[in-house]
Amino acid sequence: MKRKLALIDIPSVIHTIRGQRVILDADLAVLYGVSTKALNQAVKRNRERFPEAFAFQLSGNDIDAMRSQFVTASRRNVRYLPFAFTEHGALMAANVLHSKQAVKMSIAIVEAFVLLRKMALSLEDLTRKVNELEKGFLQHGHQFEAVFEAIRQLMVPPPEKPRRKIGFHPT
């Protein structure tokens, strides 16, 4: 059964692995309308176009970290470790696939990466501005410390609640 992803779903398939934002080969293949095998074959045929900064193969440790991060049920039922594509790697993959859908989707993927980057930069900018305000107010007294502490707590995303596993749980 082929799954489909809508354009609005693209940010949900962008993960952070090894400190980089990436899309896994299976998700990229769905977006580009090809099989994962066809995508990986195109990458292997054009390996010189995919340096480590564009695409890399995940290790067993990466998969274990993803499993704990996303609470996936098991390792992917595959023989080969998946590839992870950075923004540039996803764009390069569209170039080696030569399909119209791949070209259209590569534009949407780059836009999703840009949106995530803007969100990260705006959070950094907000943090910098709060720090500047705090320095200015603290020169006049410490009565604003509680206000700035409350603002900092609002800027931190709430921790994810542990999800209850699906299925029968004997008590």
| Percent above pLDDT 70 for the chain | 72
| Long-range contacts, stretch 62-66, CB < 8 angstroms, 24+ apart | 62/17, 62/18, 65/17, 66/15, 66/17
Q: Tell me: pLDDT of 68 over 70.
A: no
Per-residue pLDDT tens for 2-27?
555 555 577 778 888 888 888 899 88
d(CA 41, CA 85): 14
28 vs 146, which has greater pLDDT?
28
Tens of pLDDT, residue by residue over 99-130, are 777 767 777 777 777 777 777 777 777 777 77
- Identify which has the larger pLDDT, 74 or 61: 61
Which carries the bigger pLDDT value, residue 79 or residue 60?
Answer: 60
